[in-house]
Structure formats: structure tokens, C-alpha cells
Chains A and B, each alone.
Chain A
Amino acid sequence: MAPFNVTGLADAGSVLLFVAIGFAFGYILESSGFGDSRKLTGQFYFTDLAVLKVMFTAVVVAMVGIVWASTAGLLNFDDLWVNHTYVIPGMVGGAIMGVGFVVGGYCPGTSLVSMATLKKDGAVFVLGALLGMFVFGESVEGIIPFMDQTDLGRMTVGDALGVSPGVVAALATALALALFVGADWVKRKLHGTGPEPAPRIGRFTLPAVGAGALSAVVVPLLFISPPSYLDKWEKMTDKHALISDRKVQIDPAELLETMNDDSLRVELLDLRPEPAFNRFHIQEAQRANLEGLAQARQRLTTLPLNTVVVLVDQEEKLSTEGFKLLTAMGVRNVYVLEGGVDHWLHVFEAKPMKPGDGPALGDRWEVSRPDLHHMPHREFEKKIKLATKAKRSGGCG
């Protein structure tokens, strides 16, 4: 969602906004001929390639827009809904849909447009689709293991291939252009007919101008690296007050209470160097560093919903940096231990532990997990508010 500090735009004027987006979608589909099943299926016989061209042009244009906007810092890609990858159910479902597409002549969106222009086959297709969904809804309980297999989560092509989004956009553009040229070639071979007539802009045809413009926009993306998480944090101005107003720095007593709360999971990440960690750490703390956290987005954004992530430093310097990083990465429920390990020791043992103080016992110190029930009462401001609403949306939910 963008710009970074504008949220709630989709909530406020949302009804009109979504109807308007749908309206434009329906208008473009109908104007491009997607309300006609003969035109839609024509692509499979190489008689009419318009649908293939519209679809892949749209995918590439939108992709290039998304990559540009997130590279320029106008859009936070991590906030966008990226359909989760389920390899086997996705591909089996796709193959089944391919059958439905050819036999029925439409896909769900296009059948709505066809129905809206009073085409009987479109309306009957919609009815059939509703029926198929009904059958699925009634039988899904039996195939849940199948549905949930090969779940790779939010996996982009770039993640999978180990390349930047700019490279993916360039590859997709090249693929689309090759597809268009190739499909037109097959069409000419099979039917002896050329591509659909195109308007001219000066000496060039519209497709040529479009391909040139797209290439000119895509090529620079190959050489620009996407913004770092800390660049993103700088743009998330609505979150900066969380640190300055001390909304996320939790008291040691609140951390201890949370560790003892069976309904919550605490992911305690200790950012101090190894010697300090070995000398003393809070029980169940895992050693981590900022570079490692930046690589662990997939795991940290898919932690169980009742997880509270608490960052620990000797004081607060690294943990505050860690908070910025994780927040920019889109990790939920991140907090910082107020005053770090020093404050924890001060509260529970009344003496700071300096290097050289006692043996390196890690979490075998008693103060590593003080007994909550034998503690003097301590007043503190409760700050942890669990945001449990998972982001689960997308055009298909």
C-alpha cells in the first residue's frame, strides 16, 4: 500500500473505490473483446491472439510499474498482496481451469462481462462456475492435505531464482515480447493472416512504440538495486513515533510476565556479541544479528500469530535498530526490552553485570528467568498489544 504513511485510504472511501476499480476492469475487458467466448478461445487455435496479448501486456506493464514504484520508494512491496505459492494444488487447479476455459469458453471475470452484455453462454457459464465452487466448498474438507501441500508461502520469482525484482521485470518483458512475436508467427503459418491492425504513431505502429517504451523503462531497472529496509523505515514516518514516544520499549517485568503467559509465544532475539551472550542471557533467548534478521524475513513474517518478538541489547542501541529493520520488513508484534540486559539485571538482581563479572554461565544464572511468584510487586505500563490479524487477502480469498 502506498504512499508509505497514507493508510486507511482503502478503508475510508472504500466502497466507491472498489466499485470504480471494478468498473474500469469490466470496461477494459469488454472493450478488448473479452465478453466474446469465440475471441477468448481463438487464442488456443491461433486465430485471434488478442486475449493473450492483452493479458501478458497487462501483467508486464503492472509488474514494471510495481518494481519502479518500489525501487523509487513510492511503494512498499512488502505491503502488497503476493499470492502465496502452493506448487501442486496451484498447478493442478490451473490445469483443470485450462479444461474449463476451452470447454466453457470463459474464465470467471470474463464471463461476468459477457453476462453483463446479455450473452446467454456467458450467463450460463457464471451459473456453472457458481455450481463448481459450491461443489468445491462442500467437498474441500476431504482434500485439505492435498490443498495444503507444497506451501512455499509468499515466494516471488525473484526469491526463487535468486535475482532482483528488476531482473524479473526484464525477463518477463522479454518473455512477453517473444510470446507475441512467436504467436503472430504461428498464426501466419497456420492461417496465413497477420496480426490485428494497429494504429500508427508517426512512422511507427503502436505495438512498436509500446515495446520500445517498455524496454526503455525496464533496462534501467537491471542496474538499480531495490531500497534497503532501513531506507524503507525512513519513509515509514507514521511508525517513527513508536520509538520516540516509547510505545514499544517494554519493562523487564512485562517481558517476564509475557514469558510466563501460556497463551503467548515469545521470540526473544538477543543482538549482543557472542561473549556477552555466553556470559549471561535471558532464558530462551536466541542469539541474532541485524544482517541475519534481514535474511530471515520469510520465517519472521510467518511466525504463529500469538508470537511476540522481543529484541534485546546490552542497552537499547542495537535493539532499536533491530526494531526499525523488522518493522520495515513487515514483522508483526515487535518490541524492545527497555534498557536491555543491564536494566533487566538491575530490576531483578539490583546489580549490573559487567564483563569479567563471574563465570560465563549463559542462562544458568538464576536471574536468567526469575521466579515470577517470588518477586516484589513492580508497577509498569503494559505496552504489548497483540496484533493478531494476519494479512490474508488478495483477489481470490
Chain B
Amino acid sequence: MTTAPAPGKAPARYWNPYLGGALLGLLLFLSFFVTGNGLGASGALNRVVVAAEGVVAQEHVDTTPYLAEMGGADRNPLDHWMVLEILGILLGGLVSGLVHKRVRPETFKGPRVSAATRLAFALIGGAVMGYGARLARGCTSGQGLSGGSAMSEGSWLFLLAMFASAYVVAIFARRLWR
């Protein structure tokens, strides 16, 4: 945090990780139990992209098979359960932030980089993550959490690859965070 919070406005502590993990696991289980699907985030973001492309160039969406599958002709790419889910994620994140007094404009960064550098890297990292998530057919939530708990072989290989890569890259990106 860049500024010290005002007295009485100090953010609450984060939950114990095992408690948060157990609750998240129960939620994930309930999601499978009730809907047959786990949790996801990146698929919905992709649909936002397709919707935006549709506004600018519907013809292009119609003639690109990958995009048309979601947003071709009379298909609305936003008409999907995952889009509802990310609306819920935003809302749930906001409410938790309000309850725990953590909603305020700020930039999280390592001590040795400027805010501008951090934002530039966030943009680059986000783009790499977005591209990779489509290549892997899912993100940390959809592949990692959902596929992992549904025992998909590919999801476990994915988790292995992602964490292995991250731990190696972290050595070279130390300046960003430490």
C-alpha cells in the first residue's frame, strides 16, 4: 500500500487460507452438484472480447469460425452462464472489499518499482495470461480449480506446467516484487 490507512479504516486481516480454501472447495463442489459445471472466469472475458468485436465489426466475427462459434450472426456472446458468473465475481469482490475496508484506489507493487512500471508490467502480464489461457483452454479457475477437482488429467498437467513455469520465471522477475 502506498499510503497508510486512516485510523479506524484499517483493512481487516485476510482469512486463514485453509478456511478460505475449504469454503472455496465447498462452493466448487456445490457448483458441480447443482449445475454440472465448476467455476470459471477466462471464458467469460473472452466472450466480452467477442462481443466488443461484434459491435465494431460483426462481419468479421461472422466470417472467423473461432469467433462465430460464440458471436456469429444472431448469437449473443454474452448470453452464457459464465458471463453471469463474472458479474457475480465482481459484485462479490466488491462487497467483500467493502466489508473488510479494502476498497480504495491504489496500485499494488513491489517496493523497488514505480507505479508506472508496475502498471506496464500488469498490462503485458495480463496479455500473456490472456493468450495463454485461451491456448490452454482455461485459466487458473476453469482448468486449475474446476478441472483439477473433477480429476481431469489435462488439468493436472496444466497445473504442473503453470506452477513450474511461474516458479522459474519468478527467479528472473525478482526485482518486480521483492
Contact A95 B161 (CB under 8 A): yes
Contact A206 B14 (CB under 8 A): no
Q: Is residue B78 within 8 Å, beta carbon to beta carbon, of the partner chain?
A: no
Contact B129 A107 (CB under 8 A): yes
Q: Is residue A229 within 8 Å, beta carbon to beta carbon, of the partner chain?
A: no
Complex Cα–Cα for A103 and B128 (A): 9
Contact of B102 among A14, A30, A87 (CB under 8 A): A30
Contact B84 A19 (CB under 8 A): yes
A305 CB to nearest chain B CB (Å)? 15
Contact A58 B21 (CB under 8 A): yes
Chain A residues near B161 (CB, 8 Å)?
Answer: 90-95, 98
Contact B103 A117 (CB under 8 A): yes
**Chain B interfacial residues counted at CB < 8 A:** 126
Chain B residues near A44 (CB, 8 Å)?
Answer: 166-167, 170, 177
Contact A104 B128 (CB under 8 A): yes
Contact A104 B121 (CB under 8 A): yes
Chain A residues near B103 (CB, 8 Å)?
Answer: 117-118
Restricting to B1-44, which residues have a CB under 8 Å from any CB of A? 14-43
Q: Is residue A130 within 8 Å, beta carbon to beta carbon, of the partner chain?
A: yes
Partner-binding segment picked from A136-144, A240-248, A294-302: A136-144
Q: Is residue A210 within 8 Å, beta carbon to beta carbon, of the partner chain?
A: yes
Q: Is residue A96 within 8 Å, beta carbon to beta carbon, of the partner chain?
A: yes
Contact B130 A22 (CB under 8 A): no
Restricting to B153-178, which residues have a CB under 8 Å from any CB of A? 153-170, 173-174, 176-178
Complex Cα–Cα for A69 and B149 (A): 13
Q: In terms of DSSP, what is the predominant structure of the interface of chain A?
A: helix
Q: In terms of DSSP, what is the predominant structure of the interface of chain B?
A: helix
Q: Is residue A314 within 8 Å, beta carbon to beta carbon, of the partner chain?
A: no
- B130-145 vs A: 1/0 string, CB under 8 Å? 1111111111111111
Chain B residues near A132 (CB, 8 Å)?
Answer: 126-134
Restricting to A108-131, which residues have a CB under 8 Å from any CB of B? 108-122, 124-131
Contact A196 B16 (CB under 8 A): yes
Q: Is residue B94 within 8 Å, beta carbon to beta carbon, of the partner chain?
A: yes
Complex Cα–Cα for A155 and B156 (A): 11
Contact B40 A394 (CB under 8 A): yes
Q: Is residue A57 within 8 Å, beta carbon to beta carbon, of the partner chain?
A: yes
Complex Cα–Cα for A24 and B123 (A): 27
Q: Is residue B85 within 8 Å, beta carbon to beta carbon, of the partner chain?
A: yes
Q: Is residue A204 within 8 Å, beta carbon to beta carbon, of the partner chain?
A: no
Q: Is residue A37 within 8 Å, beta carbon to beta carbon, of the partner chain?
A: yes
Contact A393 B16 (CB under 8 A): no
Contact B110 A38 (CB under 8 A): yes
Contact of A31 among B15, B142, B157 (CB under 8 A): B15
> Which B residues lie at the A interface, using CB under 8 A?
14-43, 45-46, 48-50, 52-53, 64-67, 80-82, 84-97, 100, 102-110, 115, 118-119, 121-170, 173-174, 176-178
**Can you list 23 A-B pairs, Cβ within 8 angstroms, ordered by A?**
A22-B85, A23-B95, A26-B91, A26-B93, A26-B94, A44-B167, A61-B29, A81-B150, A89-B137, A93-B135, A94-B158, A94-B161, A94-B162, A96-B131, A104-B125, A105-B121, A108-B133, A116-B94, A128-B128, A134-B53, A135-B131, A136-B130, A165-B151
Give 12 A-B pairs besides A51-B17, A98-B169, A132-B132 with Cβ atoms closer than 8 angstroms.
A10-B34, A23-B89, A25-B39, A28-B23, A47-B178, A94-B159, A98-B163, A100-B125, A102-B169, A108-B139, A112-B89, A141-B65
